[in-house]
Structure 1
């Protein structure tokens, strides 16, 4: 899916409004590390981390993984969302599933009236 003209944080917030982070997973959200300085957290990643922290009501540290491990994990992803954010290193892996809803990302509609999700072949 392509979403040109939207920032990474805005799209992450939209995704989390309907698919909560899996709180049973030790690292449900991961970020691609910078190649030259793996400990550095670029602005786009700091922005998403702040958004996650606000939604969870507690500090959130998003662990980094190296570029090639990220590519391997992304190749096994269910979906890939490409946004129009021009900043480098706006790459994240998100595991959605069971867990509490993030306060910041509550959907604006009554989700209790929606049918249960299903997977078709």
Structure 2
């Protein structure tokens, strides 16, 4: 155990976010996402949701300031009448940790899958919210 590390962040997840470099992407996948099939590195966070993991890691994880949108979500499939309320949670959490709003990219479903396959890691959650999938692009630490 270490001080000030949220218990929701497993040793494996902490190792992954520490290994990542500037520009690397990590996917936080909802419970319906084919994470095991798409992942180069799979981190299981069963029993947790994307929002609570996002809130925990943004204390440590710098978002990329050199791109227009360091955050991406899977856009709603045309014809689907779902309104993803979880996106507003993400915006609130990001603003809380970044001190400002950050642009979010809305990524077509199959393009999201392609990006996920190239991501440094995929974190599989038990999130039941529809369209809760999230991509974060890592930035640099400036001190």
The TM-score normalised by the length of structure 1 is: 0.72
Q: Does 1:32 align with 2:94?
A: no
Q: How does 1:63-82 map to 2 (within 5 A)?
A: 63-82=105-124
SS at match of 2:72: strand
Q: Is the CA contact (8 Å cut-off) linking 2:69 and 2:102 kept in structure 1?
A: no
Deviation at 1:56, TM superposition (A): 2.0
Deviation at 1:85, TM superposition (A): 1.2
Gapped regions of structure 1 (runs ≥ 5): 102-121
CA RMSD of aligned residues (A): 2.2
2:86 corresponds to which of 35, 41, 44: 44
Aligned residues: 100
Change (3 A) 1:44 1:37: farther
Distance of 2:98 and 2:79 partners within structure 1: 28
Q: Does 1:59 align with 2:101?
A: yes
SS at match of 1:49: helix
Gapped regions of structure 2 (runs ≥ 5): 1-42
